[in-house]
Each structure stands twice: as structure tokens, then as C-alpha cells.
Amino acid sequence: MHPKPVNKMSNSKHAVLIIRIVFLGALILVARILVPRLIANFSTPRPATQNIFSLNRERNDTNSTAISSKARFEPLVGPWIVAIQPGHWKVEELPDELRRLRNSTGAEYGGLREVEVNLRIASILAERVKAEGWTSLLVPATVPPGLQADAFLSIHADYGNGEEREGYKLSPPFRASPASRRLAESLEDSFLIEKGLSPDPWHGLGSPPKSPTPPTVNMRGYFGFNYRRFEHTMSPYTPAVLLELGYLTNPTDRARLTRSPEGYADILLRGLRQYFKDHHRRTEEFLTPLSLPWVSVAPNLIEGALIRISPEPNSSILWSLEPGTILLPVDEKGEWYEVFVRARFATGWIRKSDTRLASDPRWPMPGEAPNNGSATAQ
Ligand SMILES: [Zn+2]
């Protein structure tokens, strides 16, 4: 049988049609890729909602504790954005990189769970923040990668051995930016003017630090702040504070935490208002964390280097450390570094001249590995 000429005509028409469809499909595909990029490039300012979780970062594998050069500074726009994290909320959903913290469900005492207290206070604060005309984000334990906000509060309640320990404490992250420090000060001021609330007294060695609310290593090394090691953390440029509002184990604190969550939300809101009076979201320097190198105890110090409780030559001596001991500087003041000493799971101050530059030993940060000494901020 011979094919009819009509069919031949039909086949070539089909071929042309298919080519046209393929061409049109390719055109649509190219347009779908290019157009959003063009819109993103030319529409300024961008809405705040597009910016919040968009910071692109890469792990920092250099021997410095500096932030990655891939972390771009992108000022936020629109109303202030306040990220509020009820501590341990949805902790079981943590991603694989943080899987060893999935059972970190927080403090629990007498049937009262910390996460319930945290969530209630955080939810009330979120409403208060909205009422101010600001944007509030309720953030679970899994921090959206590169979370950008004008303030990030991680809200917790504490657990003490025995009923005696009482009071609040709060802290910015290790190597805090000027913004994080000021946010912590504003919140602390708000606590201090509140009648009937007391800061957690100092239980360390030597003379008490100047701050009435001594932070713990676990607070300052909180995993949600640790953008150097993890993907699911805030942006380095997000001002952040972790708060321990009180002790579930103390009768006075427990009563207040459960009966007056609004009171705590009001204290936090007052601190935020104070902070935003002098917030500089477009000033990179204000929002950039301290950048400090890894160091070790200088080899020539055969007798060891002295670690002191504060950056003063006559302050109490905490420990003497052997030459070569690796130290993580977390703060500095004049000729002094505050260093995290892994073997002690604590920090102290060392003269910069007693140290040498070292490479990153890749040991876990505080907050990366559960610590028996604390039931908080893990
Ligand atoms: Zn906690």
C-alpha cells in the first residue's frame, strides 16, 4: 500500500507544530527563570517578607572565627522585624545537622514543661509586637537558615538543683555585634526597673562580674546563634539575645512564670521599644559580630599562662594553662582576650601577649554537644 499524498502533507504539518510547541515551551521556561530575577534586581526596595530568610551563607572553614565572606550584608526594609523563639518548641523536628539535640526538650518540674511556659510568653509577646505595628515571627527550634530580623529573642526558663536558685539572666551570643550587646542591655534595663524581679545571683568563683545577670557558656554558644557551624541558624547580622526568664524549680519564679506570662511579655516589649529608639539596620558595622582568630597559649610560657576572671592584671586567677592549649576567643578588651576553655567548659581572660595564632581545631562549640552541667539552652 502506498501512503496517500494527503497524509504526507499532514505529517510535515505535525512536525512544524511540534517544533513550534517545543520552541514556545523553551521560551516560557527561559522567561520563567529570567523574569523573577529581573524583577528582583530592579524593584527597590524589596518587601521585607522576601528578605527575611534569604541570606546565602556557606560554612566558614578558615582558621578564623570570622563570619563567612559569603554572608552578605543586606539591610532589612519595612517595619521592624522581631523574631521570637519559644525555646525547645518543635525541637523534635530539628534537621539532621542538629539531630543530637532533638531530645533537648528543656526543663521540666512538677509536671510543668519549660516549652509550655516559653510558648505562652512568646505568643503574647508576638501579639504585643504586632500591636506596635512591627512584624513578628514565631520561630521554632529549627531556625530558618540565615534568619534576618531586627531583633531575635530566644526565650527560655531554667532548671536548678534545688529550690533556691531564682531569677532571670540574659545574654547576647559569643563575639556579639554592637547591636546584640545593646539589645541585651536594653532588655536587661527593662528587667532591672521591674519591681519584685531579681537577677540570678553569681555562683562563680572570685568577685562577681559587673553584669548582674552572668550568662552561661550554653547561653552564649546557643546553637541557634552558631552560624559558623550550622545551616539552620540566624544570619550573623541579626541582633540576638537568649533569655532565661526564671527557674521552674523556684516556687516564686514558677508562680510568676505560670500566672503572669503577660508581665514577662511586657518587660520584653519595653526592652525592645528602648532598643529600637537607637537601632541602625543599615549600618553594617553596628550589626557585624566581632571577628577574632583562634589562639593557643604561647610555647615560651613554660610555667603556663594565667587565666583571670576579668580583664585586669590583679583580678582573681581561675586557672593556669599549659603552653599549646587551644583557646577560642569570644570577646576582647584592650590587651585581653576572653577565651572559651574547652576542658573547663567556661571562659576566662588571658593577656593577648600570652597567646599565639592557632588553626581551627574543629572541636564542637558550646551548645553543639549536650552538657551535663546545664539543662538549658541546648
Ligand atoms: Zn531552655
* Domain boundaries of the chain, sorted by first residue: 14-43, 55-287, 295-357
How far apart CA 333 and CA 321 sit, in angstroms, is: 20
Phi, psi of 144 (to 5 degrees): -55, 130
If you measure from the C-alpha of residue 212 to the centroid of ligand 1, how many angstroms do you get, rounded to a whole number?
Answer: 20
If you measure from the C-alpha of residue 248 to the centroid of ligand 1, how many angstroms do you get, rounded to a whole number?
Answer: 11
Q: How far apart are the first and last CA of the chain?
A: 81
Q: What is the mean pLDDT of each run of 10 residues along the chain (378 residues)?
A: 43 61 57 43 30 31 46 92 98 95 92 97 98 98 96 95 88 95 95 81 40 67 90 96 94 96 98 98 96 95 94 94 95 95 91 95 59 33
The reported pLDDT for the residue numbered 16 is 61
How would you class 328 by CB atoms within 10 Å of its CB: exposed for 0-12, middle for 13-18, buried for 19 or more?
buried
Radius of gyration of the chain (CA): 26
The reported pLDDT for the residue numbered 12 is 60
If you measure from the C-alpha of residue 163 to the centroid of ligand 1, how many angstroms do you get, rounded to a whole number?
Answer: 17
If you measure from the C-alpha of residue 30 to the centroid of ligand 1, how many angstroms do you get, rounded to a whole number?
Answer: 48
Question: Strands across the sheet with 336-341, in order?
Answer: 317-321, 305-308, 346-351, 336-341, 326-333, 295-297, 355-357
If you measure from the C-alpha of residue 119 to the centroid of ligand 1, how many angstroms do you get, rounded to a whole number?
Answer: 11
* Residue among 157, 330, 41, 180 nearest 188 (CA): 180
If you measure from the C-alpha of residue 253 to the centroid of ligand 1, how many angstroms do you get, rounded to a whole number?
Answer: 15
Buried b or exposed e, range 200-218, using 16+ CB within 10 angstroms: beeeeeeeeeeebbbbbbb
If you measure from the C-alpha of residue 267 to the centroid of ligand 1, how many angstroms do you get, rounded to a whole number?
Answer: 19
Query: Which top CATH class is 55-287?
Result: alpha beta
H-assigned helices in the chain: 5-42, 48-51, 114-131, 178-192, 217-220, 251-259, 261-276, 284-287
If you measure from the C-alpha of residue 26 to the centroid of ligand 1, how many angstroms do you get, rounded to a whole number?
Answer: 52
If you measure from the C-alpha of residue 73 to the centroid of ligand 1, how many angstroms do you get, rounded to a whole number?
Answer: 30
Q: Give me the residue label for grid cell 521599644.
A: 273
Strands 81-86 and 151-158, by their bridges, are: parallel
Other beta carbons less than 10 A from residue 370's beta carbon = 13
If you measure from the C-alpha of residue 269 to the centroid of ligand 1, how many angstroms do you get, rounded to a whole number?
Answer: 20
CATH topology of domain 295-357: SH3 type barrels. (2.30.30)
Neighbouring-strand partners of residue 296: 326, 356
If you measure from the C-alpha of residue 107 to the centroid of ligand 1, how many angstroms do you get, rounded to a whole number?
Answer: 6
The reported pLDDT for the residue numbered 42 is 32
